[in-house]
Chain A
Amino acid sequence: MNYAEFLIWVRGDAFHWSLAIFIFGVTLRLLEIILIGRKANLAEKRGSGVAGGIRTIFTRFMPNQAVLPRVMHTLVAGYVFHIGFFIVLLFFAPHVALFEAAFGFGWPALPNGVIDFATIMAILGLIAVLINRLRNPVQRMLTGFGDWVAWFVTLLPLVTGFMAFHHLVEPYPLMLALHILSVELLLIVFPFTKLMHTFTLFLARYYTGENAGHRGVEI
């Protein structure tokens, strides 16, 4: 298989299969969670549960001030990675073109210099995340095999994307294909690891916020 055929394969069959696994897995896992069910809260309410739930979805994007000094490393690494990652994912022109084709609408892309910077930030953030994970006894204890895998498959697309963008490996189509392949690996692994938090954190925050909102607690 030459690189051109390889590129066609990753843009075609491989993409379709990995996307299918991703969508299948995410749908399955979300339904698995939601359908278990919950008891209704019968206690007389002091506030709106729904409002509380929605509120918490947003407030939890901000760190809690009280523990801030103690979690600074993790927090900064986490933010740098996530912000960098989402800038690259959502605002690199070729990515925008992909979303535009998928959703039927697009948005302006950012110049490549910005994307390049964001990629480096995301990679450095991930490396810092790893260093924290190895050094912090709590994180080390909590981190399981799947979490290491999740870290690795998240790093790969960033690194391969960076290498493709800078033509660090020739021919470029081969590197591009490897980049897309790494994304496909991420898609496949996604539903079966903690990467699912991307979606489930909204459920988690809602449930927590709803309970608090019902009690009139602002969290």
Chain B
Amino acid sequence: MSSASFERGYHAFKEQIDSSVAAYFQSCVSCGMCAEACLFYTETNNPEYTPIYKLEPLRKVWEQEYTLWGWLKSSIGLSRKLNDDDLKQWQHYIYDSCTLCGRCSMVCPVGNDIVSMIRKAREGMVAAGHAPEGQIGASKRAVTIGSPMGVKLPALQAQVRHIEKDTGLTIPFDTEGADYMVLLSSMEIMNFPEYLEAIARIMKQAGKTWTLSSQAFEATNSGIQIGSTDIARELVSRVVNAAESLKVKTVISPECGHAYTAIRWEGPNLMGRSFDFKVKHIVEVLDELRAQGLLKTEGFEEQRLTFHDPCQLVRRGGVVQQPRNLMNMISEDFVEMPDAGMMNWCCGGGGGAAAIEEAEELRTQAFMCKKNQLDEVKADALVTACANCRIVMEEGLEAYDMDIPILGLTELLAEHLVEEN
């Protein structure tokens, strides 16, 4: 049996470095602005949480392996080689204190896409055996059981039966040629089954055919979060195979930010080919239905609502306006938090960070940024479109004794659907 080793990690770093990484490191002017965008720095003032500093191991490999000048410097002893202790130390920076939120990439004056490099650096960390235990566990469960939380098909089927009984709707499995194949995150299956019910009702009203796949219902991709292309590919291929065997037109990524990135943007690159089907986030689909007049709602929420943009949807996904259109359908008192939209603050637990137990304290500390945003608007309820954000924020609100309910956007819409006779 093979195992992780420093050499494998080093090898993976070499593999990950490309022109963009080289241009980024070469361009960094050490201005420190990226730190001011990162919630782990702004809420702790610890300079070690500076985004570009989190990439020191990768930078070293770039400089010594990919530049003549750096090679010269290291051969005459002016710079030290990377070692395993470095990686051990950097695990905390690369995983515990980064949610891949991408805020840093928005502010860098020279234009460095820092978060893309953290994603790459994780490849090396995984191969070197310096990934956090919590994420290793999640990845193992995802590959062996089919879901990072260990949710198996029978559990889903039980939930489905429940919903069918309650609502009288049918929730189709493995329907060939459906318009949509709906994916879920285990978070939703276990904690927010209302999501599935909402989908069923909305699809019915819109007159669209849809299906779940018994082969691939889980969208969360632990491989992306831990940073392993191989594991990510394994998980994505299940979805792709299911979608292609069912010949669906569109795969809907659930209310989860990273799942969207995994399937929509990384998926084809992991598989090495483009797909026959389209991939859309549920919010995109809902907004399309709205635009086509297929999503009809009635009544408005009276409470003051605000919307939390999942990082991967806005900065890494370009889905900014759609949730706002939807919010306006059902809310009369919709307020935006400061920095909402493209520069929204992260919930603090994305990118797999939520699975890292030892980082919980740091996460709570980082949640201050969200708390400040919320304090600013004094909303009665917080709406979002990511089950992971939702769980993390619930924990955060609890830690700060804040009593603000969090709602899923899809469910909220479903509550206002015009009932048809």
Assess the B111–A205 pair: CB atoms within 8 A. Answer: yes
- The distance in angstroms between the C-alpha atoms of A75 and B33, with both chains bound, is 9
Query: Which A residues have a C-beta under 8 Å from some C-beta of B?
Result: 28-29, 32-39, 41-44, 46-47, 56-57, 60, 63-67, 70-71, 74-75, 78, 133, 136-144, 147, 192, 194, 196-197, 200-201, 203-209, 211-212, 215-219
Q: Among the listed stretches B21-29, B237-245, B396-404, B405-413, which one makes contact with chain A, having 4 or more residues with CB under 8 Å of it?
A: B21-29
B274 on interface, CB distance cutoff 8 Å: yes
Assess the B106–A64 pair: CB atoms within 8 A. Answer: yes
- The distance in angstroms between the C-alpha atoms of A206 and B275, with both chains bound, is 26
Q: Closest CB-CB distance, B415 to chain A, in whole Å?
A: 30
- The distance in angstroms between the C-alpha atoms of A100 and B67, with both chains bound, is 34
Assess the A33–B274 pair: CB atoms within 8 A. Answer: no
Assess the B27–A39 pair: CB atoms within 8 A. Answer: no
- The distance in angstroms between the C-alpha atoms of A139 and B165, with both chains bound, is 60
User: Given A208-B112, A217-B316, A43–B267 Cβ distance below 8 Å?
Assistant: yes
Residues of B within 8 A of A56 (CB): 111
Residues of A within 8 A of B273 (CB): 42
Residues of B within 8 A of A136 (CB): 32
In the complex, what residue of chain B is closest to A150 when comparing beta carbons?
A: B29
Residues of B within 8 A of A140 (CB): 47
User: Given A64-B107, A197-B29, A217-B317, A141–B47 Cβ distance below 8 Å?
Assistant: yes
Residues of B within 8 A of A207 (CB): 19-20, 23-24, 111, 113
Q: Among the listed stretches B36-44, B88-96, B143-151, B358-366, which one makes contact with chain A, having 4 or more residues with CB under 8 Å of it?
A: B36-44
Q: List 11 A-B contacts (CB under 8 A).
A: A32-B22, A42-B268, A74-B33, A137-B45, A139-B31, A197-B26, A204-B27, A204-B112, A208-B111, A209-B111, A219-B342
B339 on interface, CB distance cutoff 8 Å: yes
B289 on interface, CB distance cutoff 8 Å: no
Q: Closest CB-CB distance, A93 to chain B, in whole Å?
A: 30
User: Given A33-B23, A44-B268, A143–B30 Cβ distance below 8 Å?
Assistant: yes
Assess the A66–B343 pair: CB atoms within 8 A. Answer: yes
- The distance in angstroms between the C-alpha atoms of A115 and B61, with both chains bound, is 43
Assess the B264–A67 pair: CB atoms within 8 A. Answer: no
- The distance in angstroms between the C-alpha atoms of A206 and B109, with both chains bound, is 13
Residues of B within 8 A of A28 (CB): 68
Which DSSP category, helix, strand, loop or mixed, fits chain B's interface? Answer: helix
Residues of A within 8 A of B50 (CB): 138, 141-142
- The distance in angstroms between the C-alpha atoms of A56 and B108, with both chains bound, is 11
- The distance in angstroms between the C-alpha atoms of A28 and B264, with both chains bound, is 37
- The distance in angstroms between the C-alpha atoms of A60 and B31, with both chains bound, is 14
The 5 closest A-B CB pairs, nearest first, are A205-B111, A138-B32, A66-B343, A142-B30, A217-B318
- For the complex with contacts A74-B33, A194-B26, A211-B113, 4 further pairs of A-B residues with Cβ separation under 8 Å are A66-B339, A138-B35, A141-B53, A201-B110
- The distance in angstroms between the C-alpha atoms of A64 and B268, with both chains bound, is 31
User: Given A205-B110, A208-B105, A137–B23 Cβ distance below 8 Å?
Assistant: no
- Would you list which residues of chain B between 206 and 227 have a CB under 8 Å from chain A? none
Interface centre among A63, A201, A212 (most CB of B within 10 A): A201
- Would you list which residues of chain B between 282 and 303 have a CB under 8 Å from chain A? none
B391 on interface, CB distance cutoff 8 Å: no
Assess the A43–B264 pair: CB atoms within 8 A. Answer: yes
- Would you list which residues of chain B between 89 and 124 have a CB under 8 Å from chain A? 105-113, 116
**A141, A144, A215: which contacts B318 (Cβ < 8 A)?**
A215
- The distance in angstroms between the C-alpha atoms of A33 and B23, with both chains bound, is 6
User: Given A44-B275, A60-B109, A74-B33, A215–B316 Cβ distance below 8 Å?
Assistant: yes
Residues of B within 8 A of A218 (CB): 318, 342
- The distance in angstroms between the C-alpha atoms of A60 and B183, with both chains bound, is 37
Residues of A within 8 A of B53 (CB): 138, 141-142
In the complex, what residue of chain A is closest to B22 when comparing beta carbons?
A: A33
**B26, B52, B68, B264: which contacts A200 (Cβ < 8 A)?**
B26
Assess the B107–A44 pair: CB atoms within 8 A. Answer: no
In the complex, what residue of chain A is closest to B264 when comparing beta carbons?
A: A43
Assess the A42–B31 pair: CB atoms within 8 A. Answer: no
Q: Closest CB-CB distance, A128 to chain B, in whole Å?
A: 13
- The distance in angstroms between the C-alpha atoms of A70 and B31, with both chains bound, is 12
Residues of B within 8 A of A71 (CB): 31-33, 36, 107
